[in-house]
Every structure is written in C-alpha cells, then in structure tokens.
Structure 1
Amino acid sequence: QVASDSTRYLNVALLVRVACEMAAATLVTYACLEAFPETWEALLIAIAVMVLVSYVAVGVSPRTIGRQHPLNTATAAAYVLVPLARIMGPIPQLLILIGNALTPGKGFRKGPFASEAELRALVDLAEQESLIEDDERRMVHSVFELGDTLVREVMVPRTDLICIERYKTVRQALTLALRSGFSRIPVTGENEDDIVGIVYLKDLARRTHVNRESESDLVSTAMRPAAFVPDTKNAGDLLREMQQQ
C-alpha cells in the first residue's frame, strides 16, 4: 500500500518528522529554562542538546538503519505511516500547495523529491546488495552527469573528425562509414570548416538498396541539414531536442 502511493506517505513522514523536531526543541528549551537560572545558559544548552539529538536521531541513525535493514525498516514504518495518513487526511498535500504558492518557480505538485546525492547513494547501495549490475549503476550515474555536461565536453576534437566532401559519391560515403565505424558523417563544402550537412549510414544503405545505380550520385543529394549549437549548451537539453526532431 505504501509503495503504490509513495509520494503521499513520504509527505506524511516529512510532516511527522518536522512536527517531532519542533516539539522536541520546544520541550528541551522549556526544560532547560526551568533547570538553569540564566536564560542565555539555558538556551545555549538547549541548542547543543538539540543539535546532538537531531544529528544522531534524525540524520545519521535512521539512514544507517534503513540502508542496513531496508525491508524491516520499511515494514515497520508502514505500520505507523498508514494510520497517520488516514488521520491527517489532506493536510500534507495542503501544506505542499501553500509552500508552492510561497516559493518562486513552479514548485513540486506532489511534494519534495530526493536529492541527486541521495539517489546516487541509493543506486550504489542497490549495486552493493546485488540488486542491479555494475553497468546499470554506471548508466544511472551517467544520466545525472549528463545534466551537468556541456556540449563542448562531448564534442569530437576537430583533428579526429571524419568528414566527406560534398562532391564525393554515395558509394564513397558508404565505404567511409563502414571503414570508420561512424553512422553519421559530416559533409564539407569549400573547406573542412564549412560543414554543409550530415550524411547518415542508414540513408545511404536504404538508398543503394532501393536503387543500385544511386551509388554514383553525389553525397550532397543524400545528406540531411546539420544542426549548429553553441558549445556552452547543456548536453541533456541538446539530447532532448534531438530526440524530438
């Protein structure tokens, strides 16, 4: 039940955690004010106690226990979260709507999500527990890294670029593609810096399969338009644009 609507129960858990932290801070402060005559001394001790308790009881211990015993922890948490969710009703979602209204930007419709660091840690843990393979872990990490990568970081160096002149034939382009191993080859015009288009291996293969005589056609008749983007563009954004085309 919790897994089928994880966002709802995550919001409930976050609300309960915040409420417990606030209640604990209030009670500890009240107890310190009663125990110590000096206000500054009581507040200083209350802050020290709450920092220690929050770090151990809220920050470190739950994460460690959850990672070491994920199934048992999730099962125990479900027994608490399910009745709490019924009692609270729409309160967590209402608080999210209020937070989104006060926060600049689009906000989160369903509530806060895990940070990138937490997701990376979960992926590493899944690999350690043999739930996923190492290549799958690296693939997920590469997805995160793509969002922080600029186009210039994945560009082929100019000296390593395999090109073909526009006056070459389709047969020559097909041979170059098979020999180089690249499925897309830039087509040049007046010089090597004059990129006039891109020729695709699949287009060449389809063209020659339908008509063998087309092997003697100019490669410029089979090329597609080349897309020019600034090298400072985000690689993830460029990938999405290319997928839509």
Structure 2
Amino acid sequence: MGWLGYPIAVAIALPVYLFVLGVLPKSLFRRFPLRAVVRLSRLLELTTNLLWPLHAIGAFVERSIFARAKNPPRLFAGREELKLITIQSEESGALSPTERAMIHNVVDFTAVKVRDVMVPLEKTVSFHPNDSPQEVLKTSEKSGIDRFPIFADNAEPLGLINLYDILFDTEPSRPLRHYMRRIITASENESAYRVVRRLRAARIGLAAVVDSRQKSTGIVALEDLVRQLVQG
C-alpha cells in the first residue's frame, strides 16, 4: 500500500482506540461502578505498589528543581483591591450590579464583628428558667419569634428555648428549665463569619454574646448574620 498505509492505519486504529480506551471504560464504569471498582481494585493496588518508587523519585525531583517559595504571592493585596477589580468588571460588563454587590458583601463580611450585628441585652426578649411555657407562647404570638434565650438572675446565659418543644409537649405545664437546649456564647470581638460557622455546626440558631469579662451583653441570631451577609 506504500505511503497510503499510514493514513489508512490511523483511520482504522483511531476509532478503535477512542472506543476501547475512551468510550467503553466510561460507559462500563457508569453502569457498573461498584462492580468494576471491586474487580479492578487488586490490579490498581498492584500497579500503585509497582509504580510507587517512580512516583517518589519524581516527587523528590520536583521538590528539588521547583522548590516553592516560602511566601507564595497572593492573588489580591486586600479587600479593597478585590472590590476595585469587581467594580472594573461591572463597568466592562463581565459582572452584573447584583453580582458585584454580592461579592462586596462577602468580602466585607469577613471584617464584620459580632458587636456590629448583635441585639443588645436591654432589647433582648428573654426568659428565666422558672417561667411558665404559657408566657413563651404569648410572647411568641405577639412577636413572631420562635427562639428565646434563658438567662439567670445575674444575666448569665443558661440555655435556649425553642417554641416547638413546648407545642409538641403533651403536658406543657413544667417550668422552662425542662425545655432548655444548650446555647453557645460568642465574644463581641469575634468574627461574624466564624460565629455563622459555629452556629451551623451546632445546628443552633442563636448565640449569647459576652464581653471580655464574660458578662452577657446581648444575643446574635443566625438570620441576622445571614441578612448582614446578603444585604451588607
């Protein structure tokens, strides 16, 4: 066939190569993922062990030749530079005004402290552990609030009351201490972003705020933190 053999061989081999090594394995793994992995696990483990010395040598060479700098360059110098870039992107049409505003809110939220969002203690609706559930029901009906902090006589945060715990109780006549859930405390100077993560991890919607002397100064709710993040 002479020189025509090369293009003919490529024309025949290329579809076979793409099908056998590309399409077929992906289709099989999508249809039988667990079965295929189990059957190939021993082969993969053997291959990993055989190629491990080469991998170690390659990693050593990479570290020796392309040693990383101790202080890698930062993508942005600070919040203001990132905000300036988003403004320029909005002017060029790459970002919409809404997208730019959301990015600004997220960037600014990292600097927000709990004291900027919290409700002061004198404006907080709270209860004592000896109060009755009926008082919570009446207050909730008037205010629309479904979670309340429980404070001791000295304003020490003791726990949290969830309205639904009372509603689902068949005999809601016991003092509030029987319905108390745990509550977490946050410092006034603590990052609002960190408190959001703590509240979500604990699955609690409310935190008591304390000052440097561990004295209660207010509360902060998860919805208030999220509103600050979204609206700025």
- TM-score normalised by structure 1 residue count: 0.46
- TM-score normalised by structure 2 residue count: 0.48
The structure with more helix, counted as a fraction of residues: 1
The structure with more strand, counted as a fraction of residues: 2
Structure of greater relative contact order (alpha carbons < 8 Å, 6+ residues apart): 2
